[in-house]
Structure 1
Amino acid sequence: MITEFANDRKKPLSCFSPFPQASDRKSWDSLPEELTSRLIKNGEAYLNFDYPSLTAVDYMEFTRNGNRSRFQDKLFLRRTALNALVLAECAEYKGRFLDDIINGLSLICEENAWQLPAHNSYIRDTPPSILPDVTRPVIDLFAAETASVLAVAEYLLRQELDSVTPFLSKMINKNLEERIFTPYLNEHFWWMGDGISHMNNWTVWCTQNVLLSAFTRELPQTQMEDIFKKACKSIDYFLAEYGDDGCCDEGAQYYRHAGLCLFNCLEVLNGVSDNAFLPAYKIEKIKNIASYILTAHIHDVYYVNFADCSPIAGRCGAREFLFGKRTKNEELMSFAAEDYHNSEDPLTIEEHNLFYRLQTVFTHGEMISFAKSPIVHRDFWFESVGLFIARDEHLYLAVKAGDNDDSHNHNDTGSFTIYKDGKPMFIDVGVETYTKKTFSKDRYDIWTMQSRYHNLPTFFDGGTQIMQRDGSDYRAKNVNHQLGTSVCHITMDLEAAYPDERIKSYTRNAVLEKGKEITITDHYEGDLPRPVLSLMFYEEPMISENTVQIGNLGSLLIEGAVRIQKEVIPITDERLKTSWKHDVYRLLVTMDHKDLTLRIR
């Protein structure tokens, strides 16, 4: 698909000029004064900045005790500080920020490696080395991201850096060549794709940043062609695994690293090829990838979440707006513009990709002035992932069918989430802060990954709990759905999601009767004792016989239960705290016989 556009282009490749350089004062001085002032103020916070030290022992900590955060936080701070300083200098243009910029550029080039400790390996899903091999660079997400930060910073301030010394640009170009361009063309990293292995957001995220790094400078034409062709091939591998419906199987949060990075890949490719890739934006699959985020939106900050996705997946902004503009989706443009307007951090000062920040700066005015229209959410069935979405004026129902082989998978086949009046009622907790264990063979020892902490049944063989297992074999079967104007429903059998043949059948039927209620009906057939259904809540459920009051939101009537117990689950993890400001709750509902019905109003 993408390779075909590459082969059909008529002109030689050119450099990519993403946005005006700092020396283009007409463009930078035309930005709104209020925006310019904010950029300068953000940069002033880093004047005379003491960039944090990155030690070898910090790097080794991931291998030694599994902690990712301490090293990463300092590494990311270096980049966010540099970005703020660069944008401030571009906005003010008095040279006041240049020394701190030069310090940042030099320190990042002095780092032994740009890949994260968690990614310091050459073969997918193998244990990382305790320290990097400086003779053989690894291109991971953040090596590529670092390259683009340096490349875009150097592009913006090329003239100003050169006035200090030409050796600064030479230093950056040397590091890009040795750490990115040479290994990119001479090594095979798994995320590049081979037509067999599963791809995920890494493919387009890394490719986007390699393209930005390469095409913002003069390279030999043959090298440009080689990078260009390899990038197109990787994007084709990525798209081949995407369903035509555009659903991101990593969830709304990872849409920002999957769908939106695909968009920026296309933007760079288009920019260097005299618009040879414009027809790509008319392809139905790519248009659906763009609009996925709008369909997955629930209300305000909330999105339907499964796998490692958080329910608070981040506000939309310039990238969504521009993707909507390219695909001629005015609903997405309006949604993104409204979300940008409501954002607590519209200038994304914590973002460590400088190109994204430039997109925001130069799209700010258009988003602020864009005509807003009411958001129209559709009921939808994403067949490629098995995601069912239905809503009425008050209730929102999402059900995850599919299988347990998603990227960033949780064992959540058949689970559901319910919101009422835009607030979480039945929840998917999400994922804790990533550690060494998160992407290891012990992943499913983590409670948030397990089916018993989703809205799903657990079976028992004596004292042994039987939960869902991960993999494509563990899936929903006999899935049927209907999206109607008054009733929407989905039914499935979850027997195959569990690794025990004594479970003959576990059918789940979820129905939204619009303007009335949601009904979940479960039926079990098998040789194991009656299962226990877990139900997860954000607001405290108050039990009164077979009726449960869910905070001040609504009620749950349970039919067919012999026992209902409540647990409090403390929220202590920092990542979970971003979504859940207090403890969450779990009800354990033991089935009386074969049938259990939940009525939610």
Structure 2
Amino acid sequence: MRNVLQTQLPEDEIADILTTTAGRPVLPPMGSPPWTDLRRHPVFASWFEEILAGGSASAAEPLPELTDDLYARFYQTGERIPFERVYFERRKRLVSTAMAMLLGGADDRDTLKAPFLSMLEDVAGEESWSVPAHVWTRPDGKDPMMIDLMAAGTAVGLAEMLVLFREIIPEDLALGIRNRLRVRIFENYLHRDPPFHWAELPMNWNAVCHHGVLAAALAIEDDHRLVAGMLARAARALPVFLSGFGNDGSTSEGPGYWAFGFGRFSELNSRLEQRTNGELSLFEKDPRIPLIARFAPQLTLSNGRFVNFSDGSATGWLPPALLVDLGRRLDDPFLTAHGIASYRQLARVGFAPLHQRVDTFCITQTLLRLPSSEAIERTPPPEQPDAYFPDYGALVARGTDAAGNLWEFAAKAGHNAEHHNHNDCGSFLLNVNGQPVVVEIGAPEYVGDYFNSDETRYTFLAARSLGHSVPLINGHEQQAGAEFRSTVVEHGFQRDFVSISMDLTKAYPDEACCTRLIRTFRFLRNQGCLEVRDEYSLTEAGRVESMIIQRSLPGTENASVAPVIVPMPGTDFAGHTLESYRDHGGGSRHVCRSCFRASSASKSGTVGIRIQFESPDQPHGNEFLTIAL
């Protein structure tokens, strides 16, 4: 087995390998044992009726139309959701109908065949598979030759349907889809000069687009020299993607985009190894891969939550099929246990394609890699060790206090030019018993201004410092750019406590007049307490404020069961501000920003708070002002 990213194989040699291994199916076709045997799996049995019902509902009506007005909306207003809601609804309904066809009986296939073929032809015939937000310079919002994340996903989805349903797709429709994929995707990728911008990016776009393009070609393209040329070109681009990870396996894109980017990279590797009978690989003998594979699982928290710095989602589950496959390929029980835990959660909540923004590839792999019911029931939950990522400047720690409360704490240093950047050096989050206490907003609604420029991006609460639990220095927030950075001074893990200190001085502009700012976290894991101290020096007497971001207005929850913020001596509570924003789905949300400041303006000092459960005999004077979270 040879790693094509480490050994630049000649195209002729790649073509020879593809030729000698041709005929290996990348997916079992409809009606074959892997699909029919699923019906006897106890876990799948609980999903079966829901999948069939979803397919029937999807097939009952024509697909919603992608009108010219919807295509043009982003250029006109910067809104993504109106178009993308319809775009993804079309794909969800196609996939839902396809899954019911694949997993149902003969009667189901007879009923669903005509609407399935109609939907397949409709999606394949779209003028442009890319979304208008990714062809933002086009007033009509269309570019048939743009390969973006969504066009790549559409390509692999269509290709896999040709494999799965080859017995029922009419020859003329199959030929039309093959030709369109060859022109729009395969030849377009190979001959694009200069290459698509994402081929030179060290982040998720690179891997996701390459997965869609290459996995589709490996599934259906019989011109082996064409595919060999594509693989050779990808072998020069995919190392750039891997360069976006630290030597510790970390990425500032966070767990959600790890699942998207590295997840698709991993699945492309599986497809390549399978298609070439193990002769070609993207993983083989790369010491970084096991570290990268463990990154996101180490940032998962209890109750289906993530460490979600930057544009990350606070809730969700890592793809179970991905984790199980990584555990198998890398012989890592930690990853396997995480994958089975995700399958266990999926078994509890059900499996409904209509309720997920997923593609054919994700669903088929989820089903084909389904562990035995015994493994799902008996495999213990994975142990979650503390983790520190020096290249990322991030730390995650957990602890259980004497009362049995689970505390989960994460903090980051970093810089302000990270992938999906927020101006958030020194930010942190805290969960207790699986519930958020100090929060990260994560990704807001994606609109044009959020990506247009720094001038517009950092007017959004989610991205600016005022939306994070970081200091405010003389009224100045942190600024964007790689020069605005922080460094970890020291960190340590002990049995009873965890500590990390960060130098945040350079994260602020000169106008803040700050010559020294050291933020120190001390997490007393067995006592159920988190201390945050900001030690500062200014060029002249001024104000240093520590902001804490919470989901709800303090005082609205029962203080006997919710942690409280206790200002340390020399620190005063300075008030709450309720801030509104639009979440990633476009919904209206709010957070509360609580402000703490030094008791008096000075050139140097410390602002400190303690987060803990309120003790029944705790004094209630001004010096122990408690703010219920």
In the superposition, the TM-score normalised over structure 1's length comes to 0.90
- Asked if the contact 1:491–1:510 (Cα under 8 Å) also holds between the matched residues in 2, the reply is yes
Q: Does 1:47 align with 2:47?
A: no
Amino acid in the other structure paired with 1:149: G
1:390 paired with 2:397, answer yes
Offset at residue 563 of structure 1 (A): 4.1
Between the aligned partners of 1:143 and 1:278, the Cα distance in structure 2 is 24
- Whether the 8 Å contact between 1:21 and 1:156 is mirrored in structure 2 is yes
Query: Any idea what SS the aligned residue of 2:64 has?
Result: coil
What is the aligned counterpart of 2:185 among 180, 185, 191?
A: 180
Amino acid of the structure 2 residue aligned with 1:401 = A
Residue deviations 1:565-593 (CA, integer Å, cap 9, x gap): 0122346546376xx9x743210222224
CA shift in 2, pair 1:591/1:313, >3 Å = farther
For residues 56 and 385 of structure 2, the distance between their equivalents in structure 1, rounded to whole angstroms, comes to 45
Q: Superposition RMSD on alpha carbons, in Å?
A: 2.4
Deviation at 1:106, TM superposition (A): 1.5
Equivalent residue for 1:219?
A: 222
Cα distance in 1 for residues equivalent to 2:472 and 2:103: 58
**Structure 1 residues 93-242: aligned runs within 5 Å:** 93=106, 94-120=109-135, 127-132=136-141, 134=143, 137-161=145-169, 165-187=170-192, 188-193=195-200, 198-242=201-245
Aligned AA (2:268) = C
SS in 1 for 2:408: strand
The 5 A counterparts of 1:1-400 are 2-4=4-6, 7=9, 12-13=17-18, 14-15=21-22, 17-24=25-32, 26-33=33-40, 34=45, 35-92=47-104, 93=106, 94-120=109-135, 127-132=136-141, 134=143, 137-161=145-169, 165-187=170-192, 188-193=195-200, 198-277=201-280, 280=283, 283-343=286-346, 344-349=349-354, 350-366=356-372, 369-370=375-376, 371-393=378-400, 394-400=406-412
Deviations, residues 477-529 of structure 1 (Å, cap 9, x unaligned): 35321222233211111110111262111110111123122211111111362
Hey, what does 1:588 align to over in structure 2? Answer: 595
Structure 1 stretches lacking a partner, 5+ long: 121-126
CA distance in 1, matches of 2:373, 2:450: 38
**Alpha carbons 1:63, 1:128 under 8 Å: kept:** yes
User: SS in structure 1 opposite 2:28?
Assistant: coil
Q: Which amino acid aligns with 1:179?
A: R
**Structure 1 Cα separation of the partners of residues 219 and 437 of structure 2:** 48
Distance 1:551 1:210 in 2: 55
Alpha-carbon contact 1:395-1:420 (below 8 Å) kept: yes
What 5-or-longer segments of structure 2 have no aligned partner?
401-405, 613-629
Closer/same/farther in 2, CA of residues 443 and 299 from structure 1, 3 Å limit: same
Question: Does the 8 A contact of 2:101 with 2:112 survive in 1?
Answer: yes
- 3-state DSSP of counterpart to 1:256: helix
Rounded to whole Å, the distance in 1 between the matches of 2:52 and 2:28 is: 17
- Mapped to 1, the partners of 2:264 and 2:595 lie a distance apart of 41
- 2:9 counterpart SS class: helix
Higher mean displacement: 564-573 or 522-531: 564-573
Q: Report Cα offsets for 1:458-480 as digits up to 9, x if no partner.
A: 233xxxx4211112111103532
1:538 and 1:583 in contact (8 A); partners too: yes
Determine helix, strand or coil for the equivalent of 1:236.
helix
1 CA distance for matches of 2:301 and 2:344? 18
Structure 1: which amino acid aligns with 2:303? D
Query: Contact (CA 8 Å) 1:347, 1:361: kept in 2 or not?
Result: no
Q: Percent identity?
A: 23
Q: Once the 2 structures are TM-superposed, how far is the Cα of residue 205 of structure 1 from its aligned partner?
A: 0.6
CA contact (8 A) 2:310 2:420 kept: yes
Match of 1:600 in 2: 611
Between the aligned partners of 1:266 and 1:315, the Cα distance in structure 2 is 18
CA pair 366-276 structure 1, distance change in 2 beyond 3 A? farther
* Distance in structure 2 (CA, Å) of the matches to 1:341 and 1:60: 43
Instruction: For residue 40 of structure 1, report the CA deviation from its aligned partner.
Output: 2.2
Between the aligned partners of 1:429 and 1:380, the Cα distance in structure 2 is 22
TM (norm. structure 2) is: 0.86
Question: 2:620 aligns to what?
Answer: none
Does structure 2 retain, via aligned residues, the 8 Å contact 1:455–1:535?
yes
User: Distance in 2 between the 1:576 and 1:455 partners?
Assistant: 23
Q: How far apart are residue 359 of structure 1 and its match? A: 0.5
What SS class does the counterpart of residue 498 from structure 2 fall into? strand
User: What residue in structure 1 maps to residue 518 of structure 2?
Assistant: 507
